[in-house]
A and B are shown apart, each in its own frame.
Chain A
Amino acid sequence: MAQAVGSGTIAVRGLVKRYGRTVAVDGLSFDVRPGLVTGFLGPNGSGKSTTLRVIVGLDAPTTGQVTVSGTPYRTHRRPLHEVGALLEARSIHPGRSAYNHLLFLALSNGIPRRRVGEVLERVGLTDVARKRAGTFSLGMGQRLGIAAALLGDPGILLFDEPVNGLDPEGILWVRNLMRSLAAEGRTVFVSSHLMSEMSLTADHLVVIGKGKLIADTSVSDFVKGKGQARARVRSPGAQQLAGLLVAKGATVEPGPDGAMVVSGLPAEDIGDLAAAQGLALHELTPLQASLEEVFMEMTGHTVEYKAAPK
């Protein structure tokens, strides 16, 4: 990997992308750094794929700038050594074999032929390398796309929805692959609309909605900072306690099996309040908001198409 200034960093600055009258990306700015798995999250249609396409120079920004390792993608000579990308839509000719697909990519960037065999081995497609890609399952197609991304041994890797179509074993494999690529000091930028998937893989999150930045933070800060404090409370004097909590500004909802879920007040305050009133507590469990809940809460109003409330 080259050691130039900003090497391995993706820098998005004031990116706006319009298609006709549709604004797909609306003033995005963020950095993606080496050595981490950075999750790129947003509901479907929020502009993730567009942003990734702009990063690899397929689409030109309407305004703003995107650089990889300090300069725009299109100015890189033999860019596969710098950036490897698995884009969301398939980009494989169904009549061409996996080997030949990788071979033309290798030749285009001066990558030795033996490297084709190596990446096929790494993604587990060696046995079907000479088969036409059109016969591949969705998961095998994804593996071939990942092989293409790894071909130039790049310092930056982009994966657009990499676990789509993979079986559980494949999902686990992708997770481990991304973790190990980051551990090798590479920049790994992974888009997903599934928060739960990111909670298992990512160190850092860039969250967008309707083309705008919602959060750019570590996974742990994301949950702490945005999740509302909640606690599950069980008490013989539940009725009385609920009244006191509501008076303090908390929200009380009935939980499963007679417990109540209190939000808006830290667990410590709930305990103190019960003690002050001499009320017994049978359970007081602080609830960590799941990444998914935080995500829904934050992006709920930015979702382009959502089901009508019942």
Chain B
Amino acid sequence: MSIAADALGMEWVKFRTVRSTYWTLLFAVVATIGIGALVCVVHINRFNHLSPGDRLEFDAVRFSLAGVQLAQLAIGVLGVLVMTNEYTTGVIRATFAAVPQRRAVLAAKALVFALAVFVVGEIASFSAFFVGQSILAGKNLDVHIGDPGVLRAVFGGGLYLTVLGLFALGLGSLVRHTAGAIATFFGLLLVLPGIVAALPQSWQDAIEKWLPVNAGEAIFRHGHQFGTGHSLGPWTGLGVFCAYAAAALLAAGFLLGRRDA
């Protein structure tokens, strides 16, 4: 058996034997479906009052996936905790004494976490889509999963959460303290766009679409937002988002080998 198999077995047991895993994943699913349904209900009730311009903007996919915005908070926190929990509880010492090949541990941890978030994220995203569309179908405003770009967007909801979680896990490993890592993560995710919005318009246009969230969101966006120059294409955006996550994980792997545990 290889080091990879040892590390994967260890990380899988660790992941499934703490309650925070279940609570955060459950929250992510409930939030994705619940918020999506809520947003769809609100929009369907207001549809008759909308101007023709606003009716054109009506985006059935986006409304049903609105809950991903809330779910990402839970997944981000879980990604951070998966790493920082080991430092706050001291388990990291038991872990690295058992498997001194630290990068293999980080890789196994990331893989176990990514698989779990991917499965749960896709379940949440597809459920939210179908629940949302069944609500919108009341006024024939729903779209079909086979319509152009729809499957990609719905599938993208789970992908987005997975990559976002990996980004958080990398930051957790770099910062090692829960509070600091969560603050850093949400700073990059939520505060940075606000700061960029305060820049001159031409700068905003150049920078905004490259920010982690804006790049990543492109994968579960559908319809009107593309081709305006204000956002990247879905797969390009996901690629950029992956690059952020990869940079965090690579930096984490580099430092793991050099720092004392």
Picked from A59, A92, A95, A110, the residue with its CB within 8 Å of the CB of B261 is A59
Q: Taking the complex as formed, is A94 at the interface, i.e. its CB lies under 8 A from any CB of chain B?
A: yes
How far is A101 from B89 in the complex, measured between Cα atoms in Å? 12
Query: Chain B contacts of A80 at CB under 8 A?
Result: 97-98
A77 to B7, CA, bound (A): 12
Tell which of B13, B14, B90, B258 touches A90, judged by Cβ atoms closer than 8 Å: B90
Which of A73, A92, A105, A107 has a CB less than 8 Å from the CB of B89? A92
- Inter-chain contact B13/A100, CB cutoff 8 Å: yes
Alpha-carbon distance between A91 and B92 when the two chains are bound, in angstroms: 7
A289 interface contact, C-beta 8 A: no
Report chain A residues within 8 Å CB of B90. Answer: 89-92
Main secondary structure of the interface of B (DSSP, over half): helix
CB distance from A242 to the nearest CB of B (A): 57
On whether A107 and B13 interact (CB within 8 A), knowing A58-B260, A59-B260, the answer reads: yes
Chain B positions 93-107 with a Cβ under 8 Å from a chain A Cβ: 93-101
Q: Is A148 within 8 A of B94, CB to CB?
A: yes
Q: Is the CB of A91 within 8 A of B91?
A: yes
Confirm or deny: B196 has a beta carbon within 8 angstroms of a beta carbon on chain A. no
Complex contact A108–B100 (CB within 8 A): no
A108 with B7, Cβ < 8 A, contacts A91-B89, A92-B90, A93-B91 known:
yes
B86 proximity list for chain A (CB < 8 A): 93
Interface assignment of A96: CB less than 8 Å from any CB of chain B: yes
Segment from B16-24, B61-69, B176-184 that makes contact with A: B16-24
User: Are A95 and B93 in contact, CB atoms less than 8 angstroms apart?
Assistant: no
Chain A interface size, as a band, is: 35 or more
Report which of A75, A78, A95, A105 forms a contact with B18, defined as CB distance below 8 A.
A95
Give Cα A73 to B98, complex, Å: 10
Interface residues of B in 55-97 (CB under 8 A from A): 85-86, 89-97
Q: By the criterion CB–CB under 8 Å, are A104 and B1 in contact?
A: no
Residues of A within 8 A of B38 (CB): none
Is A53 interfacial (CB 8 A cutoff)? yes
| A73, A83, A95, A107 — most chain B CB neighbours (10 Å) | A107
CB distance from B256 to the nearest CB of A (A): 12
Considering only CB atoms, which chain A residue lies closest to B8 in the complex?
A107
Contact B89 A94 (CB under 8 A): yes
Q: Which residues of B pack against A, CB within 8 Å? A: 1, 3, 6-7, 9-11, 13-14, 17-20, 85-86, 89-101, 258, 260-261
Residues of A near any B CB (own CB < 8 A): 53, 56-60, 73-80, 83, 85, 87, 89-97, 100-101, 103-105, 107-110, 148
Q: List 25 A-B contacts (CB under 8 A).
A: A56-B97, A57-B96, A57-B97, A58-B96, A58-B261, A73-B100, A74-B100, A79-B97, A89-B90, A89-B93, A91-B89, A92-B89, A93-B18, A94-B89, A95-B19, A96-B14, A96-B18, A97-B17, A100-B17, A103-B17, A107-B9, A107-B10, A108-B9, A110-B6, A148-B94
